[in-house]
Amino acid sequence: MLRVVIAGCGFMGRMHANVYSLLDRAQLVGFVESSNGGQAFAKDFGVPAFGSLNEALKAVESDVVDICLPTDLHHEFTLAAADAGKHVFCEKPIALRVEDADEMILACQAAKVRLMIGHCIRFWPEYALLKKIKDEGRLGRLKSINLTRYGEFPSWSHENWLGDEKRSGGAALDMHIHDTDFALYLFGQPDEVVSFGTDDGRGIGQIFTTMRFGDQVAHLEGGWNLPKKTAFKMAFRAIFEKGVAMMDGGPMTIIEQGIEPETPKFAHMSVQGDGNISDLGGYFVELDHFVDRVIDNKPFEISTPESSRNSLATVLGEIAQAKSRMS
């Protein structure tokens, strides 16, 4: 059984708390939250909330610190957790700077604790199936993919930290990194990356990137520079030699020459909260994997700290290119 302290009682903190409550091999033991919001979490989940990580680690026995804090705090909290001998699950992106990511990886190695970053799209059922189709060669070789992710600017963040480029890295680093990470998961390191973008006053608000991996191509568009009430959308269209696998505003569909299109069924985990059913999507699969791999002392094969660090480095390169082309 892994005893988990969640740091950050906001949007992702609640998602993770809901998942741990459903996992047989994990037990929530406390929260860390600097605002009053911690008390609502303590009441909802029946474990205490503390004002600082130090306090929490002194007051409750734990094995894991799960970091659901604004991105500019990932580095500091990971180092503190590793120093206290705790395994770390940290939300994406790993950090704001590659140097910080490297330091986090080294600190966890030195402390002999595990580190995994929440690149949940690698675990999202539709995307995981797409990776399997590619790896098993069912539709032949993957020739190209479009990956899209957009929506209105997220208004929920504490003190609007998402709107501060110095804390979140803007839409490209906070949101579009999901698709960059998935493109790298499919193809490895790109040979060429070309990016353009537009500024929304909070950094790059919309980014357009084309990556070449040998003769395979990925085109990615992502951003939050859209008006309120624009529904969030994530989509892909993967063109293989013998067919296409796509998800574009509806269920995932696989279309193969001469065969009836197929719509695979997925078992999504849901949770009841405040009268709403909320889909836990890939977050459930991701944290289940993390807990199992830590308890069983097995490597993280799907998402490693190094792959998360490479995704950060790639997105920072995209942002630098997009900015340089704006002037």
Ligand X SMILES: NC(=O)c1ccc[n+]([C@@H]2O[C@H](COP(=O)([O-])OP(=O)(O)OC[C@H]3O[C@@H](n4cnc5c(N)ncnc54)[C@H](O)[C@@H]3O)[C@@H](O)[C@H]2O)c1
Provide the pairing of β-strand 243-247 with 253-256.
Answer: antiparallel
Residue type for position 27: Q
Asked if 215 touches ligand X (CB under 6 A), the answer is no
Q: Which of 17, 47, 66, 71 binds ligand X (CB under 6 A)?
A: 71
Please give the structure tokens belonging to residue 102.
């490297």
Asked if 156 touches ligand X (CB under 6 A), the answer is yes
Asked if 88 touches ligand X (CB under 6 A), the answer is no
- Output 9 or 130, the one with its CB closest to ligand X: 9
- Dihedral angle sign, alpha carbons of residues 4, 10, 14, 15: negative
- Which 267-306 positions form the footprint of ligand X (CB under 6 A)? none
Q: How far is the CB of 223 from ligand X (least distance, A)?
A: 15
Question: In terms of DSSP H, where are the helices of 176-245?
Answer: 177-187
Q: How far is the CB of 30 from ligand X (least distance, A)?
A: 12
Name the DSSP class of 140. Answer: S
CA 72/CA 30 separation, integer angstroms: 22
Binding span for ligand X by CB under 6 A among 27-35, 96-104, 182-190, 300-308: 27-35
CA 46/CA 128 separation, integer angstroms: 33
Q: Which of 10, 125, 190, 203 binds ligand X (CB under 6 A)?
A: 10
Residue 132: phi and psi, rounded to 5, are -65, -45
Residue 240: phi and psi, rounded to 5, are -105, 170
Asked if 37 touches ligand X (CB under 6 A), the answer is yes
Site for ligand X (CB under 6 A): how many residues? 26
Binding span for ligand X by CB under 6 A among 68-76, 140-148, 211-219, 236-244: 68-76
- Output 54 or 263, the one with its CB closest to ligand X: 54
Instruction: Give the count of beta carbons closer than 10 Å to the beta carbon of residue 112.
Output: 9
Asked if 9 touches ligand X (CB under 6 A), the answer is yes
Asked if 94 touches ligand X (CB under 6 A), the answer is no
Q: How far is the CB of 215 from ligand X (least distance, A)?
A: 31
Instruction: Give the count of beta carbons closer than 10 Å to the beta carbon of residue 240.
Output: 21
Binding span for ligand X by CB under 6 A among 66-74, 105-113, 190-198, 210-218: 66-74
Binding span for ligand X by CB under 6 A among 4-12, 210-218, 219-227, 269-277: 4-12
Residue 181 falls in which region: left (phi positive, over 0), alpha (psi -120 to 50) or beta? alpha
- Output 37 or 317, the one with its CB closest to ligand X: 37
Residue 245 falls in which region: left (phi positive, over 0), alpha (psi -120 to 50) or beta? beta
Binding span for ligand X by CB under 6 A among 65-73, 239-247, 264-272, 306-314: 65-73
Asked if 147 touches ligand X (CB under 6 A), the answer is no
**Contacting residues for 79 by C-beta, under 8 A, at least 6 apart:** 103, 104, 107
Asked if 222 touches ligand X (CB under 6 A), the answer is no
Q: Which of 131, 138, 158, 219 binds ligand X (CB under 6 A)?
A: 158
CA 56/CA 67 separation, integer angstroms: 13
Asked if 68 touches ligand X (CB under 6 A), the answer is yes
Residue type for position 143: K
Q: Which of 2, 5, 6, 8 binds ligand X (CB under 6 A)?
A: 8
Asked if 69 touches ligand X (CB under 6 A), the answer is yes
Question: In terms of DSSP H, where are the helices of 60-196?
Answer: 74-83, 98-110, 125-136, 165-168, 170-171, 177-187
Binding footprint of ligand X on the chain (CB under 6 A): 7-13, 32-35, 37, 68-71, 73, 91-92, 118, 120, 156-158, 161, 174
